[in-house]
Structure 1
């Protein structure tokens, strides 16, 4: 059975710095205040490495990946 990786944002921890959207613009947009908006939380295989890098770079540890 194949695992699907999804992104999740901890809205309480996030301070809207926007680094995640810079590193993963294919999946993350920013709202008018600079907070991330996930149009689709499923991470395609081709972007898994970029998603891991964005999660690791989050200064507030507010971005997470989950396997479903």
Structure 2
């Protein structure tokens, strides 16, 4: 998994009824875009994550 600052992280709920978590990558600490990532989630909390199979990285669009 590879990411850059500004990409979005989408972590799907693992059980029925668990909501999805979405956030923005603030920092990439691994070499060549690899985890761990420091993420600010939409509810405002920040965490250092090592994404698992329930996680999708959405690349940010081109910056004008």
State the TM-score, normalizing by the size of structure 2.
0.33
State the TM-score, normalizing by the size of structure 1.
0.32
Larger proportion of helix: 1
Which has the higher relative contact order, 1 or 2, with Cα contacts under 8 A spaced 6 or more apart? 1
Larger proportion of strand: 2
